[in-house]
Structure 1
């Protein structure tokens, strides 16, 4: 892991950009006694690690005493995208706009992204836990499809906060029963991009003995800010 920039923000959080091989990422760390727990924060496919909503969540979470890290996974942010991926994204947007069947397009795009992203997250986790000042336990927040696979494959994940996605690849819908960590599941009731019933069925499938569903009115990007506060309390219970 090589740090490429460092900036102390107004809230006292230290923000550092890094690279790990071809993987670009950002790490936020608090002004707190070390070692601190770590939260991996993943945005949905195609969105950059610098997306303002993710950055705001990460900074706020760091002020609560957590190290927070995010990366641009393959084909996301500024990383190269294949012509096939770009065509699949365009086809998916068209299908969702017109109401055409989108499942097979989604599978062809997101399934391979999950397969590529999870090993990169695991390599990033290895590197982060080797840094001074970062300990455990480890939490996960964000992109549901990647989070399911990571929670199943990575025993160091102790709790997870998923942003409800009705469109989750078949493999992850099947893997959901193997997720056993404490889980907070956020659902936007009128999410235009994620069918509500599919999200509810996915929540029902999770194998966690402790799982909580928070549903709020509004569209995909309308998650209320108080859910960030609630997520903080969720992590405090399970990571501190």
Structure 2
């Protein structure tokens, strides 16, 4: 891990851009406020996912959530660029799958399982090992102790990561991504506490499939917050209950 820039905001939060090999990322850490004579409190980490639109395009939303977690709850937060996204090299198979998805949606044709698999599974297969490597590097930094939560992003990436990564203690997922059939089987083996957001009128996704995936999760503690509105209309007030969910499980 190599840090390339840093800035400290008025709320004391430190933002540092980094590269992990060739993968760009951003880390936000809270200001240290130990009580007099007390040892510093452990600093949990939230790994924030995002759709494959590029870190620069997603930065305002990612930074807003990360700075809230750091300033109000004392969490560290980090995100890394997805494969084939932002400034990373294009992956032709993903580009072809996205083009085919755009074609069938424009034509009013059904989105087949084959299109969904081609769109999502290669991303999951590469992104999850990269996220685990990022956790290795982030948890080796001074002052970041864990445990770890995962939030947002492509929901299939979150499902796989929650299944295979024992350092993930809780996950806040955004329902709505196209989900391959195999991910429903993996979801049945996910047992960490879950906090899931669903936009009821999401124009590009299947509401029933999102509900079926929520039902499939094997977690004994899982909460679904459904709000009216389209894909990008998640209410701002959902930020606080999501943060309190992580506080219950990471503190």
2:176 alignment partner in structure 1: 165
8 Å CA contact 2:93, 2:118 repeated in 1:
no
Counterpart of 2:54 (choices 48, 59, 65) is 48
Counterpart of 1:92 (choices 74, 93, 101) is 101
1:67 alignment partner in structure 2: 76
Distance in 1 between residues matched to 2:41 and 2:17, nearest whole Å:
20
Q: Superposition pairs for residues 75-114 of structure 1, below 5 Å?
A: 75-103=84-112, 104-114=114-124
Distance in 2 between residues matched to 1:184 and 1:98, nearest whole Å:
35
Distance in 1 between residues matched to 2:42 and 2:152, nearest whole Å:
23
**Higher-Rg member (1/2):** 2
Distance in 2 between residues matched to 1:191 and 1:208, nearest whole Å:
25
8 Å CA contact 2:6, 2:14 repeated in 1:
yes
8 Å CA contact 1:149, 1:175 repeated in 2:
yes
8 Å CA contact 2:120, 2:178 repeated in 1:
no
Structure 1: which 5+ runs fail to align? none
8 Å CA contact 1:138, 1:158 repeated in 2:
yes
2:202 alignment partner in structure 1: 191
Distance in 2 between residues matched to 1:34 and 1:134, nearest whole Å:
10
SS at match of 2:44: strand
The number of residue pairs the alignment matches comes to: 239
8 Å CA contact 2:100, 2:115 repeated in 1:
yes
Of 188-197 and 26-35, deviating more is 26-35
Distance in 1 between residues matched to 2:239 and 2:206, nearest whole Å:
23
Distance in 2 between residues matched to 1:175 and 1:201, nearest whole Å:
13
8 Å CA contact 2:54, 2:87 repeated in 1:
yes
Deviations 1:178-214 (A, max 9, x none): 1100100100000012210000000000000000000
State TM-score, norm by structure 2: 0.91
Structure 2: which 5+ runs fail to align? 33-39
SS at match of 1:12: coil
Distance in 2 between residues matched to 1:179 and 1:169, nearest whole Å:
16
SS at match of 2:7: strand
8 Å CA contact 1:166, 1:202 repeated in 2:
no
SS at match of 1:28: strand
State TM-score, norm by structure 1: 0.95
Distance in 2 between residues matched to 1:213 and 1:131, nearest whole Å:
34
Distance in 1 between residues matched to 2:107 and 2:248, nearest whole Å:
43
SS at match of 2:152: strand
8 Å CA contact 2:94, 2:122 repeated in 1:
no
RMSD: 1.3
Shift of 1:76: 1.5
